[in-house]
Amino acid sequence: MIPVQGFDGATVAVLGLGRSGLAAARALRAGGADVVIWDDTPSARERAEAEGFEARNLTRDGAFDDVACLVTSPGIPHLYPAPNPVIASALQAGVAVDNDIGLFFRSFSVNFDEYDRPPRVVAVTGSNGKSTTSALIDHILTQAGRQSQLAGNIGRGVLDIDPPAEGGVVVLELSSYQTELARSLTPDVAVFTNLSPDHLDRHAGMGGYFAAKRRLFAEGGPDRCVIGVDEVEGQFLAGQLSEGRGDDRVIRIATTKLTGPGWYVFARKGFLAEWRKGRQVGSVDLRDIAGLPGAHNHQNACAAWAACRSLGLGPREIEAGLRSYGGLPHRSQRIAEANGVIFVNDSKATNVDSALKALLAFDRVRWVCGGLMKEGGLDALTPGLERVAKAYVIGREAEGFALGLSQVDAEICGLMEVAVQRAVSDAQPGEVVLLAPAAASFDQYDNFERRGEDFIACVQKALGVSD
């Protein structure tokens, strides 16, 4: 646990008692704060009360009279489309609002003077690939013998990690919800993977979404920035952060060749290359690494390579880590192969951009897709539809989703089991049955993990294999 600093003897309210909220309450108490908690769900309040926390109805008048800070969970809206009523009351009362990420950064570096090699924080954000990139950095560091902990939006709650050892590294995956609200952001290395439309209602459009990501760099002031420049937002961000083309505090990454006097890591046609000051200093062939299929994963490999080089690892150490990486569940996860057909679970492909990248990773796809559609429609999928032999559409909006796929043969299946059965029956040797929904899961599932687990179970049932 990382005890929260700066609130000894003060009253701090915690709103939302999921994984991050309850961990924040514990860490605040460990730092000497007087913690009061609230959650709309009675069972969540009861769990916290069983640990000795005082429940206070933060919706009542005067609830914030003695409160120094409100700590809120990332899923609770604080600005758009409208602030949660509790957060609105805190703002009206002049109470500071923070989250567990802000508490972590204000507390993490206490007593670092006692270290010869202080611990460091790598923070990863972006629209797609941040989970894989974060896990990949953590894996490479661990394989190289460095102490590393994975936390934030993946792994453990950020305040629930162990105090770092000499020279240890904390790798954080940070969502836009987390970076937008955190009052303190001070990573040593910050990574921006890419940007595509997502969560636009929470940020009032693309400008607000990009601004939330940009805070990690503009206000975080990292020593080194790894910036994906395949999109104009990344190019703009890299330009803002660097003093000139040769400024190696910014490492630009891309899926196309980069040239110039700066520090670049790019992957082109499956080959990763690192260039610095006009010459190549490292390379690796990514094409035969099973845990990193497709150009989108090659971009993730570039980001992880650059971050690890920033931490002092050598090219061969990083290559060994890349080759031993097994991948994350629900992200380009190869789950089975039968009769020459490969089955891949990419349930995390919850938006159009990530689904497109999943399609482009394979030559011929039986595509299981659909769910709760997001803003923007499906037109951006067009470059990948030539890879689709047939689409099998699930979800409550299956008929409307299928109408947006006029360029391919699309069968309305509704349920996952039906879609998988149809795909297995139709698939030919050399094809891939791919779950890449291009939609949120909440119409049928609690989260994308449950959707992916259902896909795996349905595949196993269709193939006649046990778990």
List binding-site positions. 126-132
Backbone phi, then psi, for 284, in 5-degree steps? Answer: -160, 145
Binding-site residue set for ATP: 126-132
CB of 189 closer than 8 Å to CB of 263 = no
Question: Rounded to whole angstroms, how far apart are CA atoms 332 and 298?
Answer: 12
Question: Rounded to whole angstroms, how far apart are CA atoms 330 and 40?
Answer: 30
Concatenated DSSP letters for 253-266? Answer: EESS---SSSEEEE
H or E element in which residue 353 lies: helix 352-360
Nearest to 72 by CA among 112, 137, 24, 135: 24
Concatenated DSSP letters for 187-214? Answer: -SEEEE----S-SHHHHTSHHHHHHHHH
Count of CB atoms within 10 A of residue 342's CB?
18
For the chain, what percentages of helix, strand and coil (3-state, to nearest 5) are there?
35, 25, 40
**Distance in angstroms between the alpha carbons of the first and the last residue of the chain:** 35
Question: Rounded to whole angstroms, how far apart are CA atoms 38 and 158?
Answer: 20
Question: Rounded to whole angstroms, how far apart are CA atoms 73 and 44?
Answer: 13
Structure tokens at 15: 């709103």
Structure tokens at 413: 């299946």
In the block, tokens 């190289």 appear at 144
CB of 444 closer than 8 Å to CB of 450 = no
Question: Rounded to whole angstroms, how far apart are CA atoms 187 and 169?
Answer: 11
CB of 85 closer than 8 Å to CB of 27 = no
Question: Please, which residues have CB within 8 angstroms of residue 194's CB and are 6 or more apart in sequence?
Answer: 126, 127, 128, 129, 228, 230, 231, 234, 299, 353
Let me know if 118 is exposed, middle or buried by CB neighbors in 10 A (0-12, 13-18, 19+): middle
CB of 304 closer than 8 Å to CB of 137 = yes
Question: Rounded to whole angstroms, how far apart are CA atoms 281 and 113?
Answer: 34
Strand ranges in 137-177 using DSSP code E only, listed in sequence order? 148-152, 169-173
Q: Is the peptide bond before 77 cis (omega within 30 degrees of 0)?
A: no
103: β partners: none
